[in-house]
Amino acid sequence: MCMAPSTPHLIHCYMARSASDAVPLQRSQSLPHSATVALGGVPEPSTLSSSALSEREASRLDKFKQLLAGPNTDLEELRKLSWSGIPKPVRAITWKLLSGYLPANVDRRPATLQRKQKEYFAFIDHYYDSRTDEVHQDTYRQIHIDIPRMSPEALILQPKVTEIFERILFIWAIRHPASGYVQGINDLVTPFFVVFICEYIDEEDVDTADVSCVPADALRNVEADTYWCMSRLLDGIQDNYTFAQPGIQMKVKILEELVSRIDGQVHRHLDQHEVRYLQFAFRWMNNLLMREVPLRCTIRLWDTYQSEPEGFAHFHLYVCAAFLVRWRKEILEERDFQDLSTLPTRDGQRGISLALAVSKTAFNSQRAFSLKLHGCHSRVQRPRTSAHVPDVSLCKDTTTTALWSTDPRGLLGARARGDPRGSTAGTFRDR
């Protein structure tokens, strides 16, 4: 059992546990088969009997269905329940609610969907023919080049899917001239599209799904819903993609400072071998780890990101730091960092859950400490999911102390919002 004597000891305790839990996993861009990985945030089959696992999955799904069945969905409860993963049958509707695309009131949803879908296709009618105009042709050409490089190839290279992605990205770029289209945005379409298309596809492996069999009306719905949910995500991180991408530059710097406090040995090792955080972490911020972990794990991460306030903008940094801490042994043994894509972040579902648990505890502890320190309880809303304990078997003391102690005064949150003093002033916006 892990105790809590000191931060270095806690980190060592956590890393020993992580090493024992680590399972090598090759990159796969398909959704998991139910027999191998559960997307609902439950332990791996090796930890429970199949019957117990099935009962647990059924129980979680029932909780979601009960919560979603009411006339007004309690979004606070939905966020808490979703943090540990969302069952596949209710993932699409849950993502639409958590992103703010659909209203909590059940009666208003059909009209909202109809209005937003009509609005999106009005954009198509108005803008899409301009893709060959001189002013827009470079944007469209770059989108056309980038899409075939995306994964899963077997899905995205289907003509209908390629056309959908081209329309979504081009319309978003035209309607957001401050950034326009930037490489990396294209990857953010995929999780939404896959989650929403799975409502109409029976195949467990989306790579083998034939989208041409999906009715045209359903494809139109998926396209519009994907566009609006992706837009909601990008609204919170658009400075990642404006000129010179200042949001990413800032986030990489924050990550570097965070890792230097979490694990100075890893930080010094990277520095001694002249590995700059910008060289590998730029892509982590630009693609939100889409190129580092399998698609099924990205979807699991996004369950949690959408459950968190500022999940994609701020909580993501703690996840990136947790990856480096989890893989410290491999990083410290590495001497040749010529190929930075080999940094060992391609972990399995269990590793994702461990990283989320570490990130969550540190993130909430840092928030709570900052609020207590400055007496801000009356001015700042309590974190929406702070009372929720991640449904992952971990040493609680380890995860609490090892990362929380790295940022006890909210310095990172302050700097993320442009406070040069690094104080806690303005660390958390009133929501």
Task: Report yes or no on 22 lying in a domain.
Answer: no
Residue 137: pLDDT over 80: yes
Q: Does 412 lie in the same domain as 329? A: yes
**Domain boundary, last residue among 188, 207, 235:** 235
Domain shared by 198 and 281, yes or no: no
**Rounded Cα distance, 184 and 173, in Å:** 13
Domain boundary residue among 199, 216, 235? Answer: 235
Together in a domain, 129 and 263: no
Which residue is listed with tokens 């108005």? 126
44/25 Cα distance (integer angstroms): 14
Say if residue 250 is in the same domain as residue 202.
Answer: no
How would you classify residue 189: left for phi > 0, otherwise alpha for psi between -120 and 50, otherwise beta?
alpha
The reply to whether 85 falls in a domain is no
- Which residue bears the tokens 């930890």? 47
Q: Which of 158-162, 204-208, 345-349 has the lowest mean pLDDT?
A: 345-349
Backbone angles phi, psi at 105, to 5 degrees: -75, 120
Q: Are residues 255 and 180 in the same domain?
A: no
Tell me, what's the pLDDT at 359?
57
Locate 383 and state its tokens: 């974190």
Spatial contact of 306 and 99, defined as CB atoms under 8 Å apart: yes
- For residue 170, being part of any structural domain is answered with yes
Assign residue 296 a region: left if phi > 0, alpha if psi is -120 to 50, beta otherwise?
alpha
Q: Which of 55-64, 338-347, 416-425 has the highest mean pLDDT?
A: 55-64
pLDDT at 412 over 80: no
Residue 5 lies in a domain: no
Q: What is the SS3 string spanning the chain?
A: CCCCCCHHHHHHHHHHHHHHHCCCCCCCCCCCCCCCCCCCCCCCHHHCCHHHHHHHHHHHHHHHHHHHHCCECCHHHHHHHHCCCCCHHHHHHHHHHHCCCCCCEHHHHHHHHHHHHHHHHHHHHHHHHHHHCCCCHHHHHHHHHHHHHCCCHHHHCCHHHHHHHHHHHHHHHHHCCCCCCCCCHHHHHHHHHHHHHCCCCCCCCHHHCCHHHCCHHHHHHHHHHHHHHHHHHHHCCHHHCCCCCHHHHHHHHHHHHHHHHHCHHHHHHHHHCCCCHHHHHHHHHHCCCCCCCCHHHHHHHHHHHCCCCCHHHHHHHHHHHHHHHHCHHHHHHCCCCCCHHHCCCCCCHHHHHHHHHHHHHHHHHHHHHHHHHHCCCCCCCCCCCCCCCCCCCCCHHHHHHHHHCCCCCCHHHHHHCCCCCCCCCCCCCCC
Residue 185 sits in the same domain as residue 275: no
Alpha-carbon distance 294 to 301, whole Å?
11
- 343 and 263 in a common domain: yes
For 62-65, which contacts have Cβ atoms below 8 Å and span 24 or more sequence positions?
64/90, 64/94, 65/90
Asked if residues 383 and 339 have their Cβ atoms less than 8 Å apart, the reply is no
Give the span between the Cα atoms of 75 and 57, in whole angstroms. Answer: 21
Q: What pLDDT does 19 receive? A: 43
pLDDT at 139 over 90: yes
CB-CB neighbours of 111 under 10 Å: 10
Whether residues 396 and 373 fall in one domain = yes
Q: Which of 235, 268, 293 is the last residue of a domain?
A: 235
Question: Does residue 23 fall inside a structural domain?
Answer: no
Tell me how many domains the chain contains: 2
pTM of structure: 0.73
Domain presence at residue 357:
yes
* Higher-confidence position of 322 and 250: 250
* CATH number of the CATH domain containing 281: 1.10.472.80
Looking at the fold, whether 398 and 300 belong to one and the same domain comes out as yes
Q: How far is CA 413 from the centre of its chain?
A: 18
How sure is the predictor about 357, in pLDDT bands with cuts at 50, 70 and 90?
Answer: low
Measured CA angle at 17 (ends 11, 21), to 5 deg:
140
* Highest mean pLDDT, choosing among 92-101, 338-347, 372-381: 92-101
Q: How many CA atoms lie within 13 A of 379 on its CB side?
A: 11
Residue ranges making up the domain that contains 250: 246-416
Q: Are residues 340 and 368 in the same domain?
A: yes
Output 426 or 352, whichever has higher pLDDT: 352
Question: Greater confidence, 396 or 96?
Answer: 96
Looking at the fold, whether 119 and 192 belong to one and the same domain comes out as: yes
d(CA 268, CA 19): 21
Instruction: Flag whether pLDDT at 377 surpasses 90.
Output: no
The single-letter code of the amino acid at 22 is A
Show the tokens assigned to 253.
């710097």
- Is residue 25 assigned to a domain? no
In this prediction, residue 358 has a pLDDT band, given cuts at 50, 70 and 90, of low
Q: Which residue has the higher pLDDT, 2 or 225?
A: 225
Tens digits of per-residue pLDDT, 152-198? 888 888 999 999 999 999 999 999 999 999 999 999 999 999 999 99
More confident residue, 139 or 368: 139
What confidence score (pLDDT) does residue 218 get? 95
Of residues 402, 398, 428, 431, the one with CA closest to residue 413 = 428
CA dist 296 and 270 (Å) reads: 29
Are 406 and 328 part of one and the same domain?
yes
Mean pLDDT, rounded, for 293-300: 89
Tell whether 265 is covered by a domain.
yes
